[in-house]
Every structure is written in C-alpha cells, then in structure tokens.
Amino acid sequence: MDLYEHQARELFAAHGIVVPRAEVTDSAKEAREIARRLGGRVVVKAQVKTGGRGRAGGVKLAADPAAAELTARQILGMDIKGHRVGKVMVAEPVDIDREFYVSYVLDRAAGGFLAIASAEGGTEIEEIAASRPEAVARIPVDPARGVTSAKAAEIAEAAGLPPRTADVLIRLWEVVTAEDALLVEVNPLVRTTDGRILALDGKVTLDDNARFRRTRRDDEADDAADPLEAAAAARGLNYVKLDGEVGVIGNGAGLVMSTLDVVAGCGARPANFLDIGGGASAQVMADGLSVILSDPAVRSVLVNVFGGITACDTVADGIVRALDTVRLTKPLVVRLDGNNAAQGRAVLDARAHPLVEQVTTMDGAARRAAQLAHAA
C-alpha cells in the first residue's frame, strides 16, 4: 500500500527525521487558518499518490493566508495523472540551499535492499538517472546487517551527500524495518540556507503482507487503487487488473498464471488475473463475472478450470447460476477438465447459452477467446 505524503512524513517524524511543520485539510477556508497558524507564508501541496505534483501545478507557494486559501481552492479537485486531489497539505516553507535524493527500495532479485542516493535531487531525478547514471549511487544493503553508521557514511560518500545526512539515512532505514516498508523515498531531502537537513517530500510503500503486524490503522481508503480492483476487493475476490482484452477466471493461482501466459501466447493480452480458488460457489462466479464484464476493455472471457477437489460439474453449476444473475454481454469460453469434466460439460451444454462456448483444451480455449476478442 502506498502512503500519502502526509502519512509518510508522520512516519519520518516518528523516527526522528526532521520535516517542516504542516497540516492537512480538504477545505480551502481551513487552508487559510492553517497558513495563519504557520506564520502566513506557506507551501500548498496536493495530496495524491503519484509523483511529479510540482510540475503538474500541485505544489505552490502562497505569500499569505488569503493566497493560501486561493491556492488551495485551485489545487483541490485538480486532476494529477488521473488522481483527483481530495486534500492539500499546508506546510511551512523552507529556504532551500541544496536538494538531495535518498531512498531504500526492496531488490527482490538480490534478496536485499538497495540504497539509491544522489546529490542532485529534486524534480529532475528520473532524467538525471537516465542521462547521467553516474550521478546516482546505488549501494546494496544487506537487511540482516542493516544501515550502520559505517554503511550510512558509505552511502553518503558514494552519492556525494554532506556527511551530516548519514543520520537521516540511518533513521530512514529504521522506517523500512519498523514499518515493513518496500520503498521509502525522500525527494527532496534538503539542506536549508540556515544549514538544517529536512525531508521535504516522502513516498512510502508498505508491505501489505505485514498488515497484521501493524498497530497503526490504515484508516484512509486507498483511493489510488484501480476502481475494478476496489470493486473486486469489496467482494473478497483475488483479482488483479491487467491491461488486455481477454478476461480470465480460473481456479488456483498457478493455473491462472499459466492461463495468462497461454492467452499472451495466442497473441492476445489478458485483462486481469482472477483466481476463484478451491470453492466454486455461484456467488463467487457471479461476482467475478460481473467485475470482469464491467471492465470496458474486456472483449471476451475465458474460464479455465481444472477440477480437483472441486469437481467440474460443481463449477458448471456455479457458472449456470451466475448466468441467472449476471447479464452476459461478451462471449464466454469455458474449458473444463479434470474431475467430473464430462458431467460439467453436460451441465453447460444443457444451459445452451448463446454466448457460452466450450473448448476442451487449455490452448484451444485460449486461442478461441483470443479470436473472439479480436473479432469483437
């Protein structure tokens, strides 16, 4: 789960990283009050879970409380890369001398973390990483050893950061371990004109698998999530949105993963991952179908089931009952194999829905679904 900047800064502050004073609001009037409390001159920042807010006009300086209200009114409701701004953070402005970039990111391939740091932080970091990779230091961090003061000094030196930033690097690593983060990024980490080191922006991705260990409530709905994924999550489905045109439903994560590959092998692109698991209740099938059919990109749907403990006729019953509650608007290709496959196929044949076709092999079914998607 990605955090908002204002949530990230709370974690930073809790671990002793200095952040500017700030408050969050969804009201322009209140932004004026906050600006008054913070001394008049403020920075108004859009709270959206995407970067590049500065360039999109979502980070603005306001000279006084009245300007803060006006600026907040402009930024609230704005669309930044498909994210609607519901809240702004009103922060005490700082006078920047230099901007740095620091982050820790999980490196799955290496089985560890990677510290990425640069003395040239700020809004241009992606361009700098692409055009002058030597300006960005990448230092592996062994999670079992963590970031000791020696390690922090090594990272700071490799990136050309002032030695004093080592303390922030150590505390930032504490954020990673204490909060079970997959990514912690500060861009920019700044040195102010009066010599203080402050985290001016923060991006944190927490590991959802560690949710049970966190005492902090994830109180803000993840409005950055895809609406289809949100609808699927509300129905308790194991669904991931992808960007193709063939909807996929299967039983068992492994089978569904292979189905995605086979669809791709047939020259089509899967529209989603959806594992309905072991059970085959009509409700789960109906919920899955309705989420997939509500995806405008979907042109055909492939149901790929291998009957094991759950027999194919039970799955077929589920599909037939789902067809009573969900209006099928796109062709559905069903492949049933394994336990009670013949009985399952007979159940679907008996239903004889004009948009439902059966193909007995996985390759054949994927090919047919791809063909139907292209024809649509």
Would you tell me how many other CB atoms lie within 10 Å of the CB of residue 204?
24
Do the beta carbons of residue 259 and residue 304 sit within 8 Å? yes
Q: Judged by CB, which is closer to ligand GDP: 25, or 187?
A: 187
Which residues have C-beta within 8 Å of that of residue 83, sequence separation ≥ 6?
A: 48, 49, 50, 223, 224
Count residues near Mn ion (CB under 5 A). Answer: 2
Site membership for ligand GDP, residue 18 (CB under 6 A): no
Can you tell me which residue has the tokens 């970091």?
125
Burial class (CB in 10 A: 0-12, 13-18, 19+), 150: exposed
Interface with ligand GDP, residue 43, by CB under 6 A: yes
Answer yes or no whether residue 187 interacts with Mn ion by CB under 5 A.
yes
Q: Which is nearer to Mn ion, 187 or 259 (CB)?
A: 187
The minimum distance between CB 148 and ligand GDP, in angstroms, equals 28
Q: How far apart are CA 91 and CA 19, in angstroms?
A: 10
201: contact with Mn ion by CB under 5 A: yes
Q: Is 340 in the site for Mn ion (CB under 5 A)?
A: no
Residue 104 annotated to the active site: no
Query: Is 157 designated active site?
Result: no
Residue partners of 51: CB distance under 8 A and separation at least 6: 203
- Which among 204, 174, 173, 200 has a CA at the least distance from the CA of 188? 200
Is 96 near ligand GDP (CB under 6 A)? yes
Tell me which residues in 194-253 interact with ligand GDP (CB under 6 A). Answer: 200-201
Q: Which of Mn ion, ligand GDP, none sits in contact with 96, Cβ below 5 to 8 A by type?
A: ligand GDP
Of these residues, 5, 92, 99, 101, which one is catalytic? 101
Residue 123 class from Cβ within 10 Å (0-12 exposed, 13-18 middle, 19+ buried)?
middle
* Shortest distance, position 201 Cβ to Mn ion, whole Å: 4
- 330 DSSP assignment: S
Q: Which of 28, 51, 305, 367 contacts ligand GDP by CB under 6 A?
A: 51
Summarize as ranges the residues that interact with ligand GDP (CB under 6 A).
43, 45, 51-54, 59, 93-94, 96, 99, 122-123, 187-188, 200-201
Catalytic residue annotation:
101, 185
Summarize as ranges the residues that interact with Mn ion (CB under 5 A).
187, 201
